[in-house]
Amino acid sequence: MYQYEVRRAQEFKRCIECFLCQDVCHVLRTHGKHDGFMGPAFLVRAAAYETHPLDVQDRVDYVKDEGGIGFCNITYCCTEVCPESIRITVNAIIPLKERVVDRHYDPLRRLVQLVRRRKP
């Protein structure tokens, strides 16, 4: 394993769990989606594991279904208030959203799955 492989995961380990990002998140604060959206603090924790090269657990479905990552519309408010200067939106939320989209909404992948199911 090389340093460049763990650099992003190490950034997330700087989180001091102050939950300022949770407090300013408009999805939680304004829209009250506490039941459907886990919030940026927990997405940072999920991203720390998901991006680590030695971690083999698959969290994409959980982040989509239970975590409600689709509610985040990327306003960068969580990143702006982070006292540890963690780039929450760019390095945690967006890559997780990309993984969810690649798995669940990629039309090419869906086509390949349909073709494979039709084979006898």
pLDDT confidence of residue 115:
87
pLDDT confidence of residue 38:
96
What pTM did the predictor assign? 0.84
Which regions of the chain are under pLDDT 70?
119-120
From the CB of residue 71, how many other CB atoms can be counted at a distance below 10 Å?
A: 15
Environment class of 95 (CB within 10 Å of its CB; exposed 0-12, middle 13-18, buried 19+):
middle
CA atoms 35, 36, 39, 45: torsion sign: positive
Q: Residue 85: left if φ>0, alpha if ψ -120 to 50, beta else—which one?
A: left
Residue showing tokens 């039709």: 118
pLDDT confidence of residue 119:
64
One-letter amino acid of 12: F
Structural domains of the chain in order of their starting residue, each with its CATH number: 3-118 (1.10.1060.10)
Residue showing tokens 């300013």: 24
pLDDT confidence of residue 101:
92
pLDDT confidence of residue 72:
94
